[in-house]
């Protein structure tokens, strides 16, 4: 299937590793121009160099920015627009939030995770919308978690904050649809990345939770993002789509 992503311009937050990096790779296979982001300048530069070599292209760029810090998402969008000469596709994939039960989580932690998961998305969208509206084209994609639909044990801030992000995206999708801009949320299930190791979830534990009986591979989610970013997905908006091997039982 021709996705028509050739020459489109994308910024993928949190993309020096894991799911974000797989999204960059998938977009590059479609000849999209991409800006890679993470907190670490070194990781950003090495990821850009790796992809420039692998795809024999100069159309991969880097912007280091920490989404936990106020105004960094806005700065990153502006730099990405300047490096690529525009921005058609915004993928907000943040680092995973803190682990802890309700009574373990301090107010400071709530505020920090709110900045990371929520405000970074709001700011990045605000910075991207004027140009997307002018072009009558835009794709906004947010990577959250299956926690947005079913709470995961010990991930209190993720459970609380991410459910609300689904509502925000539905609301936003109504406002921007007439400009040819779609807004969709991707809910990863148990996916084989460093984050899963950090949460100490082994393949054996996950097998019992997932009908498919295995971990998801980042690429399996990334290819959905490429499709949703394409012209072919222009009538899909306001959706929350899980890539989870059937783990979610809710409708």
Nearer to ligand NAP, 32 or 94 (CB): 94
- With CB under 6 A as the contact rule, the residue among 10, 20, 30, 148 that binds ligand NAP is 20
Instruction: Find residue 142's DSSP bridge partners.
Output: 92, 185
Gap between the Cα atoms of 197 and 191, Å rounded: 10
- Letters for 188-217 (x = contact with ligand NAP by CB under 6 A, - = none) are x-xx-xxxx---------------------
- Cα–Cα distance measured from residue 152 to residue 96, given in angstroms and rounded to the nearest whole number: 13
Residue 18 makes contact with ligand NAP by CB under 6 A: yes
Tell me the three state secondary structure of residue 222.
Answer: helix
Interface with ligand NAP, residue 96, by CB under 6 A: yes
What 8-state DSSP symbol labels residue 191? B
Site for ligand NAP in 141-160 (CB under 6 A): 143, 145
Site residue total, ligand NAP (CB under 6 A) = 30
- Say whether residue 41 binds ligand NAP (CB under 6 A): no
Q: DSSP label at 182?
A: E
In what side-by-side order are the strands of the sheet with 9-12?
Answer: 60-64, 33-38, 9-12, 89-93, 138-143, 181-188, 239-243
Least CB distance from residue 94 to ligand NAP, whole Å? 5
* Residue 184 touching ligand NAP (CB under 6 A): no
């Amino acid at each position: 299937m021709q996705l028509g992503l050739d020459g489109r311009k994308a910024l993928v937050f949190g993309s020096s590793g894991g799911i974000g990096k797989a999204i960059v790779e998938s977009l590059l296979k479609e000849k999209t121009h991409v800006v890679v982001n993470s907190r670490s300048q070194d990781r950003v530069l090495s990821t850009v160099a790796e992809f420039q070599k692998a795809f024999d292209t100069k159309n991969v760029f880097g912007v280091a920015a920490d989404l936990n810090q106020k105004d960094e998402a806005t700065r990153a969008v502006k730099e990405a627009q300047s490096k690529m000469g525009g921005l058609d596709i915004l993928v907000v994939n943040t680092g995973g939030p803190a682990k802890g039960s309700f009574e373990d989580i301090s107010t400071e932690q709530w505020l920090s995770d709110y900045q990371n998961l929520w405000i970074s998305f709001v700011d990045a969208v605000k910075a991207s919308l004027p140009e997307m509206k002018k072009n009558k084209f835009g794709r906004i994609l947010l990577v959250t978690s299956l926690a947005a639909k079913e709470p995961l044990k010990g991930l209190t801030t993720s459970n609380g904050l991410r459910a609300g992000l689904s509502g925000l995206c539905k609301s936003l999708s109504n406002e921007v649809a007439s400009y040819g801009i779609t807004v969709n949320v991707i809910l990863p299930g148990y996916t084989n990345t460093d984050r899963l190791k950090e949460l100490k979830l082994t393949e054996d534990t996950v097998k019992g939770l997932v009908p498919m009986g295995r971990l998801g591979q980042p690429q399996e989610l990334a290819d959905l993002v490429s499709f949703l970013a394409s012209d072919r997905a222009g009538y899909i908006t306001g959706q929350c789509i899980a890539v989870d091997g059937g783990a979610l039982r809710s409708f």
